[in-house]
Amino acid sequence: MAATLLISSRNYSSWSLRGFLLARLARLEFEQQMVSPDDPDTRAELLLRASSIRVPCLVHDGVTVWDTLAIAEYLHETFPNAGMYPGDRMARARCRSIAGEMHSGFSALRSSLPMNLRTEGRRIAIWSAAQADIDRITAIWHECLETWRGPWLFGRTPTVADAMYSPVVTRFRSYGVALDEVCARYCDQVWAWADLAEWVAEARLEPEQIEELEVEF
């Protein structure tokens, strides 16, 4: 039986994008089912007004699991040969650490630079808290790329960490965030990811627009 991944807006939902990329990393066959952005709970999540995130949600083999890190661990446990995490124990620990940091942190970046895949090069004021988040993220990227030699954060193939940071790449592109050569090259690598390109193409066809996420800052 095919698995089902419940998602909200492809254009605005960074968590839905992460869930999609994780399922693709696991090489899982799955259907996507859209939860309407007009649903009050979904809208609250998209506008960062919800106390928890319940989309994406994966339904597979009688199991229902939500929260992106829970989905990542479930898929890794179910498909251990998919290579979702690095094979090396030290690299795997670092991958889990930076994925967890993305999962629980960077709230200033999220609120200041909301994901919007139909926007490119929008210039906004980046305040100090958001800049601190950007600086920390680019430091993480530098550490990983220098240690594991790229082009992905942990070497030659994408992992859970790349799935977790991919929405950041889209944010940097949407708001024209200036990056050094190393980070710009990593962003180009992620942007060229076929699974991300598929998601972006479908996002640009969505008719829904959330006015609060379209305002000029």
Question: Are both 193 and 96 inside the same structural domain?
Answer: yes
pLDDT value at residue 124: 86
Q: What is the mean pLDDT of the chain?
A: 91
Give residue for tokens 């906004």. Answer: 124
Other residues' Cβ atoms within 10 Å of the Cβ of residue 143? 13
Helices (H), 48-127: 68-78, 89-104, 107-112
The answer on 135 and 64 residing in a single domain is: no
Residue 49 is predicted with a pLDDT of: 52
Number of domain units in the chain: 2
Give the tens place of pLDDT for each residue, 144-201.
999 999 999 999 999 999 999 999 999 999 999 999 999 999 999 999 999 999 999 9
The CA angle 164-167-169, to the nearest 5 degrees, is 105
Domain identity same for 148 and 170: yes
Give pLDDT, residue 41: 65
**pLDDT at position 216, please?**
45
Residues 75 and 94 occupy one common structural domain: no
pLDDT cut 70: percent of the chain above it = 87
Print the domain residue range for 139. 89-199
pLDDT of residue 43: 61
Which domain CATH number covers 64? 3.40.30.10
Give every residue of the chain whose pLDDT is below 50, as ranges. Answer: 215-217
Do 42 and 125 belong to one domain?
Answer: no
